[in-house]
Amino acid sequence: MATMDAISVIRTKRDRGELSDQQIDWVIDAYTRGEVADEQMSSLAMAILLNGMNRREIARWTAAMIASGERMDFSSLSRPTADKHSTGGVGDKITLPLAPLVAACGAAVPQLSGRGLGHTGGTLDKLESIPGWRALLSNEEMLNVLDTTGAVICAAGDGLAPADKKLYALRDVTGTVEAIPLIASSIMSKKIAEGTGSLVLDVKVGTGAFMKTIEDARELASTMVGLGTDHGVKTVALLTDMSTPLGLTAGNALEVRESVEVLAGGGPADVVELTIALAREMLDAAGVRAADPAKALADGSAMDVWRRMIAAQGGDPDAVLPVAKEQHVIKAPSSGVLTRLDAYGIGVAAWRLGAGRARKEDPVQAGAGIELHAKPGDTVTAGQPLLTLHTDTPERFEYALQAVEGSYDIGAAGTEFTASPVVLERIA
C-alpha cells in the first residue's frame, strides 16, 4: 500500500473503473489520517456519485470506514439487540416511542441517533427539549443505561467510524450527499460498528425525503440490506411514505409531546401504525416473537420504559416541555377536502421557524415548529385553523409562510381521496 496515491485512485473511478480492495483501504485510512486532502476526497466522492460502485466496492468501503475506529460490544447483555435507522423526514418522531416499546417487549435497543440538518428533524434535538436530558454518554454510561432500562438513545461517540464523520462533513459541502453508495456506507458503517445484532431500516420516500422516488429508495434500501447481511447483521428495510408529514407536529418539543401521547395509548394513527410495524420487524429480527407491541403500548409498559430511560440520561419525564413565545395561525381559505399537505414545504417552514439548523453548529429552538390541524382526506371549513406556526422569534413568520404557500391543496366538498399507505414495501 506504500505505492498508493490519491490521484491514481481518483482516476480509476473517474474512468468508470472498479476500485480494488487495496485502493479503498488505503484511501479511507489516508484520508482519516490527513494524508489525502479534502479536495482530493471531494473529487473522488463526485466520481463515485457520477459513476457508482458495485456491491463488492461498497462492502469494502464500509468495512474500511468501520476499521477506522472502535467497535462496540453488547455481548454482556442478557437480551438480544435490535436497532432502527430512519433516513429522515418531517414529523418523524418514531424513534421516541419505538425504542422503549421494543425494550418493553424484550429486546435491547442501542439507538445511536443524530441531529437535524435542513428540513429534516433530528432525534437528539427533540429529546434535548426535555429539561436535563443528556445526549452525550460514554460507552460505559450507554451500556449501563441499556442494561438497566433496555433502551438508550444517544449520540455516537467520536471513536465510532471517524472516517465517516470526516467524509460526511465533506459531502455536505461538496454536493455529493445524494450518492447512494456513500449514503449506504455512511449509515451502515456506524450501525455495524455500533455492534447491534439486528437492524431495521426505515427508508423514507417522497417529497419530504432525500429519496424522492420509489426506485431510488428501493436501490438504497437493497444496498444497505446487502451491506448488513455481508457483515453478519440481520437487516431488513421498510420503504415508508414521506409525501405528507408524519403525525400532527413538526418541531422538537412538539414532537416529544406527541410521542408521549403515543406511549400513553393515543396519538395520531399514522405514527402508531408505523411505530408498531417497525417494532414487529425489530422483534422478529432479534428473535423475540412472544410479545405483542400493540399490547405493550396499550398497557403502559412502554411508557414505563420511556420514563426510566429519560431519567437514566438525566431528564425529568414529568417536566413541562418548552413552549414557543409566539404563534401564528393559518386558516383554511375555503371549505372542502384537504387533498395535499406537502412534507417538504412543512419541513422547510418548521426549519425556518427555528426548529432546525442550516449548519451543524447552529442552535435550535426547543419550542419552534408547526402543528397540523388537518391531514389529507380530512374535511375542512373556511376559516378553521389549518396550521399553527410556533417560534420565539416572530420575525421568522414571514419567511416560514413563504415555504407553506403552495404546500397544500383543498378540493371541493365530496372530492374523493385515497391516502397512500404508510408502509410501501418491505425489503429483506
- Active site residues per annotation: 85, 164, 171, 186, 190
Closest CA relative to residue 252, chosen from 126, 109, 72, 389: 126
Among residues 229, 214, 238, 197, the alpha carbon closest in space to that of 85 is found at 238
Per-residue DSSP letter, 351: I
Backbone angles phi, psi at 287, to 5 degrees: 80, 20
- Residues 198 and 286: beta-carbon distance below 8 Å: yes
- Residues composing the chain: 428
Nearest-10 crossing angle of helices 180-194, 55-67: 40
Q: Which residues contact 379 (CB under 8 A, 6 or more apart)?
A: 335, 336, 337, 338, 413
Question: In the structure grid, which three cell numbers stand for residue 254, read together?
Answer: 412538539
Instruction: Indicate the residue type of 261.
Output: E
| Residue 1: closest CA among 25, 19, 37 | 25
358's grid cell: 442550516
Q: CA 147 → CA 76, 197, 246, 300, 424, distances in Å?
A: 9, 15, 31, 20, 34
Residue 157 near residue 69, CB atoms below 8 Å: no
* 3-state SS class at 416: coil
For 241, the 3-state DSSP assignment is strand
Dist. CA 267–CA 247, nearest whole Å: 8
Q: How far apart are CA 407 and CA 14, in angstroms?
A: 40
Residue pair 410/340 in contact (Cβ under 8 Å)? The answer is: no
* CB distance 327 to 388 below 8 Å: yes
Cα–Cα distance for residue pair 63/25, rounded to 1 Å = 9
- Give the cell for residue 71: 467497535
Rg, Å, the chain Cα set: 22
Torsion of CA 217, 218, 220, 225, to 10 degrees: 140
Q: Give the closest residue to 279 by CA, choosing from 298, 258, 261, 307.
A: 298
